Structure 1
Amino acid sequence: MALRRSRPGTKRLAALVAAAALLLAGCDSGGTSSPRDGRERLTVAALPLTDSAALYLARDRGLFAKEGLDVRVQPVQQSIQALPALLRGQVDAIASANYVTYFQAYEKGTLDLRILAEGVRIAPHMMDVLVPKDSGLTSPGDLAGKKVAVAVLNNIQSLTLNAILAARGAGRPVYRQILFPQMGPALERNQVDAVHAVEPFDSAIQHQVGARVLLDGGSGPAAGLPASGYVTTSAFVRKHPKAAAGFRRAIEAASRLAAADPDAVRAELPEYAKVTADAARSLHLPAYPATADAAQLRRLIQLMRQQGMLAKDVDPAPLLVT
């Protein structure tokens, strides 16, 4: 099958990577090192989302230390911002990494991707399409042709929303890129008709601006779909196989804890996600699977192929670090 000259997301991905390279050009710290205490130090870029809960649980519950790792977290606003630093070895892994972006980078040859561990799968109301309380939009079908904010264009949010709307026989909206922290103000100022927000921003926007839920972003074809993971490069895995394996074990242990005890996640969120303890108690959490599943990732890849976000099939099985 011949590749098209361009497809949705390709030019945008290249532009984001170029811009992120400028943002991170001054970053000289990070990367794997061996501190004096004998633990191997890893730097992990992460978003302040519920997706990253296992990372912080593993750090704060001593699960990384048990594996001989000293994990430092570098906050970012978009996982794509950390890609240049990952390629240069300034960060060793990216948490809450949106699979769509990284499969696209892998297909293009930008990144020799490896998936260290599963992040989250989509659960009911972990992300919602929100509209102003007095909006004239009353059903998902009303979104056709309307401006909807997403954090990154041609990514997991638009992918899943397109699939949900198609299953309902509804047309697609027009997407606008707005970072999660700016979505509430954009909705208040009528810069967009709706926002597709992920927790904890989803609940915050509802409470702060009185937005209402028009559509559960975790419903229909999106339900149970892998959304994000912990990604690195094949070079890192080759050079640091013990650290890679230890990191995976720690994240999987933390994910089992998160799945068994959601209150542990809710207690952790105020430490990194700028959410109060009261607000954390009412958030809708994603699913935290203990192990990555190639079959579930193939569901995601199939949707990407259907919507032109990948030009060819990608087999996720060889990309999983086991």
Structure 2
Amino acid sequence: MQKLVTFLIFLLIVVLIALVTIPQWAVKKPDKVLIGHFPDVPNCWLYFGLDQGLFEKYKLEPKLIEFSSYEEALDSLQNGRIDCFFSFPWSFLLQEMADTLTEMEGDTVHLQKAIMSFYSTSEKPYGALVVPEKSAITDVKKLSRKKIGVVRHPCAELEALLVRALQQEISPRNVHTESVEKSQVSSLLEDKEISSALLYEPNLVRMLQRGKTQILQEDPISSYLIDAYPLQVACISTSFLTKKSEAALNFRNALEESLQFGDLNEADVRGSLADYMNLTTSESRKVRLPLFETYETIDRDAIQNFADLLTSEGVLPDTLETQGQGIFFDMFE
């Protein structure tokens, strides 16, 4: 009997030791994913996935790192300080691509891949021309020779595209724009010299929720010029894809689940944006969501057409062939 008791005690000790030590060698630790973000752009489904704990579900440990400069974010992405970034203006990425091709004389491997693309469309506009609530301007044609405020953009594309878009209604020589800093947006229409402003989210909802502002025309660029206006592009680093392929696959799966669930529950997506995008609860409920495409569905011809448009408007210096240049994400086929 004593031997049996001794054996059972020994067995219990072995089991307890196993329970204590197994997690240290048998349970795989979550993979860290360093996610750079720029908070004033449409990263809705990333934030929703973070809010819902979807990345943890796929054995990832996400760390969100905020940037205030696209140049700094790109450098961090290309040099391995972050694994992905949400998100660059498409024009900024195309400019970087053009510069890289010039430096390398056309023979280059891009250090980042496009994994998501966000758009403003005529059916789902992400921006609008706004005027003061009691403005006498009730039609786009009345903006002729009036000053339109445009928030400063990394590649100065908005002013060029707005002039081109409005030419159906106003002679280009009579479209007057003024570039303003983001910090000036809240008081933009208080400037008596500025009659209207082109705003995209989240600046648009902030202005509308404060009152004394009304929409004159839904996004004129997607209404008049290019129906699916490529706004932003989320990128993943080539290094992350090759060195941590399992983590990259799990990241893709978590993001896709966020997209699938969020696409059916836009109210829930909006509800998760307040903290990440510096919105009030009221603003987050009203903020618009952009159209999105994943790496599998990005319309590459549309991106090429956009690059051609930027070239024709002098935003890009030369004709840029986007396809076959390795900027699109083709893994997990």
Q: Tell me whether the two structures share a fold, i.e. TM-score over 0.5.
A: yes
1:319 is paired with a residue whose SS is coil
Once residues 241 and 143 of structure 1 are traced to their aligned partners in structure 2, the CA distance between those partners, rounded to angstroms, is 54
Q: Which amino acid aligns with 1:102?
A: L
Once residues 136 and 191 of structure 1 are traced to their aligned partners in structure 2, the CA distance between those partners, rounded to angstroms, is 14
1:292 is paired with a residue whose SS is coil
CA shift, 1:203, in A, is 1.7
CA shift, 1:116, in A, is 3.9
Q: TM-score, normalised by structure 1?
A: 0.76
1:228 is paired with a residue whose SS is strand
CA shift, 1:166, in A, is 3.3
Once residues 190 and 283 of structure 2 are traced to their aligned partners in structure 1, the CA distance between those partners, rounded to angstroms, is 21
Decide whether the 8 Å contact of 1:256 with 1:288 is kept in 2.
no
Q: Paired residue for 1:62, among 53, 78, 94?
A: 53
CA RMSD of aligned residues (A): 3.0
Q: Which amino acid aligns with 1:164?
A: A
Decide whether the 8 Å contact of 1:259 with 1:287 is kept in 2.
no
The answer to whether 1:47 aligns with 2:45 is no
2:215 alignment counterpart:
213
1:102 is paired with a residue whose SS is helix
Q: Gaps (5+ residues) in structure 2?
A: 1-26, 104-108
Q: Residues 1-322 of structure 1: matches in 2 within 5 Å?
A: 38-49=29-40, 51-77=42-68, 79-109=70-100, 112=110, 114-123=112-121, 124-135=124-135, 137-141=137-141, 142=143, 146-155=147-156, 157-158=158-159, 160-168=161-169, 170-171=171-172, 172-179=175-182, 181-190=183-192, 192-208=194-210, 210-217=212-219, 218-290=222-294, 291-310=297-316, 311-316=318-323, 318-322=326-330
Decide whether the 8 Å contact of 2:116 with 2:234 is kept in 1.
yes
Check 1:166–1:256 CA distance in 2 against 1; reply closer, same or farther (3 A cut). Answer: farther
Q: Which amino acid aligns with 1:129?
A: L
Q: Gaps (5+ residues) in structure 1?
A: 1-35
Deviations 1:159-202 (A, max 9, x none): 542442134454243341411x5312233244744332222220
Aligned residues: 286
Check 1:235–1:99 CA distance in 2 against 1; reply closer, same or farther (3 A cut). Answer: same
Greater C-alpha radius of gyration: 2
Decide whether the 8 Å contact of 2:77 with 2:112 is kept in 1.
no
Once residues 61 and 265 of structure 2 are traced to their aligned partners in structure 1, the CA distance between those partners, rounded to angstroms, is 24
Q: TM-score, normalised by structure 2?
A: 0.74
CA shift, 1:316, in A, is 4.0
Once residues 144 and 316 of structure 1 are traced to their aligned partners in structure 2, the CA distance between those partners, rounded to angstroms, is 40
Check 1:189–1:48 CA distance in 2 against 1; reply closer, same or farther (3 A cut). Answer: same
1:285 is paired with a residue whose SS is coil
